[in-house]
Amino acid sequence: MFDGREPIYLQIADRIRAEVLDGSLQEGDQVKSTTQYATTYRINPATAAKAFAELVDEGVLHKRRGIGMFVSDGARDQLLAARRERFFAEVVDPVATEAQVLGIPIAQVVARLHEVEAARAAAHGEERS
């Protein structure tokens, strides 16, 4: 599971975020304990605790004393908003800058996006036939 270059605690936090985003973890669901993570993935419990602490600080998880960690209300919406903001900052803004450098009008970039969307919709429709 943990084979990336990022520290393991960040990989754990990213996996939990992804599970909240894809609906595997719903608001109010309990997440594995630090001990369960440590046992399952053979890691130090402090590593999992660090991931949980980051998610608590972000408001994605909250702790219920004596019970465990749970997905916070509004966590999915919060994660979606953050991911969308990052998408615009990391993808769209650089594309707009590059288009300007190349002399490509933004309207042409938008038209291309519509073409891609139409092609994908058509392909998706053909798959259902």
pLDDT of residue 41: 87
Paired tokens of 55: 């998610």
Amino acid at 10: L
Q: What is the pLDDT of residue 70?
A: 97
The dihedral formed by the CA atoms of 69, 70, 72 and 73, expressed in degrees to the nearest 10 = -160
Give the per-residue pLDDT at 126. 60
Residue 51, number of CB atoms within 10 A of its CB = 25
Where in the chain are the domains? 8-73, 76-128
At what angle are helices 34-41 and 45-58 packed, to 10 degrees?
130
Distance CA 47, CA 58 (A): 17
Q: How many CB atoms lie within 10 A of CB 93?
A: 11
CATH among 1.20.210.10, 3.30.70.600, 1.10.10.10, 1.10.1510.10 for 8-73: 1.10.10.10
What is the token pair recorded at 85?
């903001």
Binned average pLDDT, 10 residues per bin, the chain of 129 residues: 83 95 96 91 92 96 94 96 96 95 95 93 70
Task: Please say whether the beta carbons of 81 and 26 come within 8 A.
Answer: no
